Every structure is written in C-alpha cells, then in structure tokens.
Amino acid sequence: MSSSSFRPRPLLSSDELLHRLRTGFPAAEVEGAMTAAGVEVLGLRVPREQAGVVWEEWRARHDETGWWPYVTLGSPTDMADGRGELGWDADVLEWVGEAVAQDHDARAASVLVSACRWAVEEVANVDDDLDLWRSDYDPDRLAPLLAPAVERPLPGVSQWATGTRDFFEKDWRWVHFVAARGGYEVPVLLPFVYTTWNWSGYGDRGLTPLDASAILRRWHEQWGAELFFATGPYLELVVDRPPLDPRGAAQAAAELHAYCHDTVQDPVKTGDTMARATMWSLWWD
C-alpha cells in the first residue's frame, strides 16, 4: 500500500471550508496556501482574544469537516513559504503513513527512556545521586513525591494563543486548518509548525516530527490533550482529561520532562501543577 493512501481525506473540500469561513466571518481575512509537499493550509485571521473561542468552535466541528484547527501567528502563506530548509518536503507522505502505522505508545516510551539515559550518562556526574536523577523519569519513583489527588482539574491559562507573553504582544492571531485525523498528525504534515528539532536541549538526541506525532497522539488518547497553539519553539495543548491522582500526574510530568526539559525542569512541581491542569504550555530554548 502506498504512503499516499494514508493521507487524511477531509469531509469538506477546501473550497467548501473557505466558503463557510468567509460566510461565518464576513469581515475577517481568509486565505489558503499549499506547501511544497502538497498539504493545504487554510487560515482565518481573528482578534487575539477571540482565538480560543474560534478554535473551540471548529474543534467541535472536526468530525463534520475533517480539518483540524490550531492557533498560530503567521498566515497560511507564511507557513507554506520557505519551509524546505531541511529538504523534508519529500518525506511528508512517507511520514504520514509511518505515523499511522507506528506504535505511538512504544515510540513515546522510547523518548522517555532515551531522555533518562542521556541525563544519567551525559549530564549527571559521579557525585550526583543517580537515583534522584532517575526519579525524574520514573513515574513509580516520582509519584510518592507528589501531592495527593485533587478533585477537579486545575485551571489552565494560555500564555501565547490568547495571552500577551513575550514577543506575542500582537492584537491578531491566525486560526489555521489542516486536513488531519487529529492534532497529533499536524507535526508530520507540517514539519515546521513548531520546531523542537532545531533546538539542541538534549545534545545529540534530536527529536523528529514522528517523535512529536507519537507523543501528541499518546497524550491525546491518555489525557485528551489537543494541539491548540504552535509556532516556532512554542506549543500549547488544551487538555480535556488531565490526570488528577499522583501516579497519573507523575506519568504526565515524566513524559513532559523528557519531551521538553527547557520548560519542565522540575518534574515534582510540574506533577503538582501543569500536569493536572487543562493547559500545557511548552517552549524550547
């Protein structure tokens, strides 16, 4: 079976979706573009404070459209232009097929194992408590260090999609739409939507779009995490069912730590806070 047979097929054509967007938002800027790999990206420009509401509305319509929405800064044309620096355009179709067929839980687990091995072997020195290092990546060791279970998810606050952190102090956002089975496919369809693989926070253990897809799919299935905002080294996920008990929070914190050590430097703190919240905000330096 060819890789192209795994390409997600939307229920609405791009023309139909563009028509709905223009009808629903007559005063808004709407455009579409296509990447060199043939992936269509449609976009709607909205005021920053409305981006979350628009995203929620169209996420709820994903089953009837087949187009996944995410919030970002640039237009679809910006996304489509100048994205072939690493020569990945030819790999996109193959990646989509591999992302569908891969054991995403196993691949996500391999990221956790490799991060632990790298930390213990490359970062820790002979005077360090290696058991303490390992506890950052071992949920069974981490869980007893966390606070007791909470009754309901902690409120999550968007830092970038609707917030004004850092250089995102702009009044407008784009809501992009990509034909995908879920947000977890976006990293392989648009490898530069957010670029963890350009940052060397873990030495030579660079992560790939397939790693990102596996991790996002695991988090989607385990905790209802959905791709919400993506641009450059910044990522935000809306989490519908965050873990509330220490063991589940420890698992989430360990995986977040392994995936994005730049943000999650203290797994205990993360296990008691962000891991149990409805928004996960990550960035790579």
Digit-coded pLDDT (tens) for 44-89? 999 999 999 999 999 999 999 999 999 999 999 988 875 554 556 6
Strand 67-72 relative to strand 30-34, pairing: unpaired
* Sheet of 40-47, strands arranged across: 30-34, 40-47, 172-179, 67-72, 225-231, 234-239, 279-283
Digit-coded pLDDT (tens) for 86-106? 556 667 777 788 888 888 999
pTM, 2 dp: 0.90
Summary count for the chain: helices (H), strands (E):
12, 7
- Mean pLDDT value of segment 15-43: 95
**Both tokens of residue 11?**
């229920």
Q: Worst-scoring range by mean pLDDT, 19-23, 25-29, 118-122?
A: 118-122
Domain residues for the domain of 174 are 3-283
State yes or no: pLDDT of 198 exceeds 60: no
Sign of CA dihedral 134, 138, 141, 147: positive
**Both tokens of residue 94?**
């193959």
Contact 209, 197 (CB under 8 A): yes
* Domain count within the chain: 1
**Which position has the higher pLDDT, 33 or 285?**
33
Q: Which of 285, 280, 281, 256 is nearest to 268 (CA)?
A: 256
Distances (CA, A) of 243 to 110, 112, 174: 21, 18, 30
